[in-house]
């Protein structure tokens, strides 16, 4: 397979929106040469977290899948450690994750294969041209020296952002763009477009800048609609 046919696709915060994910995957039609990098927060807030994790297990048989750990995955694992952490996670949308397995369920309802899938999440993914992580980054530190809290919890504040020391373009999620538009600073891009609220789940092919977006109801965004505040092209159709 030649390099031109290999796609590197970043997918923003799914948050349990399986219909949006299914719509994107149908349009993307991933093949074995494609690498799909999920930027974290696969679970919580939306209604179908269990179905999202099942879909990712299936997707791994179809293409290369990389999972970045978001703060919601971090909270889920912490929830196993104490009652206080469990209640905190539930208040942050975890109750919807549990209900996606069985209404009123506890952590014991989450099957081993889902724990196993989430345990493969990594803090960041780096290529020759791009860095992908969940939330933010320290521009002055190489990625292997970044603080985990910054990678998973830091906010993407445009006026405070700077190019990473590597010169690579950084792609993140986490900070919801409440106008539901991608925020492209050129050297850094935020693609959390608030799917679980009222926006879109965004997928972005990084080399050619092909863009796909779908609502939580599984409706694709029309090509004539505005899609971003920066330099990205219009939606691919």
| 231 part of a folded domain | no
pLDDT band per the 50, 70, 90 thresholds, residue 178: confident
| 42 part of a folded domain | yes
| Nearest-angstrom CA–CA distance, 200 and 216 | 7
Mean pLDDT, the chain, integer: 93
| 114 part of a folded domain | yes
| 56 part of a folded domain | yes
Cα 89 versus chain centre, distance: 18
pLDDT at 3 over 80: no
| 235 part of a folded domain | no
- Residue-wise pLDDT for 14-27, tens only, equals 999 999 999 999 99
- Residue-wise pLDDT for 209-234, tens only, equals 999 999 999 999 986 555 544 444 44
| 111 part of a folded domain | yes
Beta bridge partners of 36: 9, 65
pLDDT at 73 over 50: yes
- Residue-wise pLDDT for 117-148, tens only, equals 999 999 999 999 999 999 999 999 999 999 99
Name, in order, each residue with C-beta under 8 angstroms of 163's C-beta and a sequence gap of 6 or more: 139, 187, 188
| 156 part of a folded domain | yes
pLDDT at 196 over 50: yes
Secondary structure letter of residue 140 according to DSSP = T
Q: How many helices (H) and strands (E) does the chain have?
A: 7, 10
pTM of the model as a whole: 0.92
Q: Domain containing 45: what range? A: 3-214
| 186 part of a folded domain | yes
**Number of structural domains found in the chain:** 1
Q: What is the CATH number of the domain that holds 92?
A: 3.60.21.10
> Would you state the pLDDT for residue 233?
47
């Amino acid at each position: 397979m030649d390099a031109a046919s290999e796609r590197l696709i970043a997918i923003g915060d799914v948050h349990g929106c399986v219909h949006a994910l299914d719509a994107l995957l149908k349009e993307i039609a991933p093949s074995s040469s494609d690498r799909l990098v999920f930027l974290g927060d696969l679970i919580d807030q939306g209604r179908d977290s269990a179905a999202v994790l099942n879909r990712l297990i299936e997707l791994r048989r179809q293409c290369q899948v990389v999972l970045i750990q978001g703060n919601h995955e971090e909270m889920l694992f912490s929830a196993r450690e104490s009652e206080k952490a469990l209640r905190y996670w539930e208040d942050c949308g975890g109750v919807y994750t549990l209900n996606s397995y069985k209404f009123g369920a506890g952590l014991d309802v989450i099957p081993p294969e889902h724990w196993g899938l989430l345990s493969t999440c990594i803090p960041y993914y780096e290529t020759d041209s791009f860095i992908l992580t969940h939330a933010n980054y320290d521009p002055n530190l190489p990625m292997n020296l970044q603080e985990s809290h910054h990678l998973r919890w830091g906010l993407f504040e445009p006026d405070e952002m700077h190019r990473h020391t590597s010169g690579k373009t950084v792609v993140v999620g986490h900070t919801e763009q409440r106008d539901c538009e991608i925020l492209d600073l050129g050297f850094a891009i935020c693609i959390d477009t608030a799917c679980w609220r009222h926006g879109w789940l965004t997928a972005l092919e990084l080399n050619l800048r092909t863009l796909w977006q779908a609502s939580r109801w599984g409706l694709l965004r029309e090509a004539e609609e505005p899609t971003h505040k920066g330099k990205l092209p219009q939606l691919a159709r």
